[in-house]
Amino acid sequence: MNAVVVRATPESVPQLVASATSLFAEDGGQRDPWMDLTWPHREGPAYYSDLVRQSDSLCLLALSPTGSAIGHLIGRIRRADPLRPGAVAGVLESMRVESEHRATGVGTALADEFFAWARESGANQVSVTAYAANESALSFYRGRGFTPFEVTLHAPL
């Protein structure tokens, strides 16, 4: 792996927005006809600016040796609630690695950093949501120990 994983800062929010924009176009754009592909450009700067300042969120960038963003990971902590009082979850909200850098260890480095942060933040489980048709993402997550817990089914009307 010729990349380094760093925590995003307020100054690196444009790189997060760019990576999220690519994720929306690549993943949601192919798999969800209702996905608003303009959301990252329109709402992302404020959303990610807020996240990089919160202690219960993790914003990571994977940077190439030249300093360009080649991927990102967004994680959050979901505290226990009345329905699941013992569960504190590290939620992997968003992750992307540029296609030419996949299978090089970049995704694993991002995920490992997320797992360590979730443990340090008091999580006792982690979760991720992926499109059922995204076999490569599902395979990646299974390889990191994720297993199905809930399944959401959709039907067109």
Question: CA–CA separation, 131 vs 135, rounded Å?
Answer: 8
Q: Evaluate whether the domain defined by 4-143 bears CATH number 3.40.630.30.
A: yes
Q: What's the one-letter identity of residue 84?
A: R
Round to the nearest angstrom and report the end-to-end CA distance of the chain. Answer: 46
pLDDT score for 137: 95
Q: Where are the chain's structural domains?
A: 4-143
Question: CA–CA separation, 95 vs 127, rounded Å?
Answer: 12
Please, which residues bridge with residue 81 across strands? 84
70-115 pLDDT per residue, tens? 999 999 999 988 999 999 999 999 999 999 999 999 999 999 999 9
CB neighbour class for 87 (10 Å; exposed up to 12, middle 13-18, buried from 19) = middle
pTM here is 0.93
pLDDT score for 1: 74
Which residues of the chain register pLDDT less than 50?
A: none
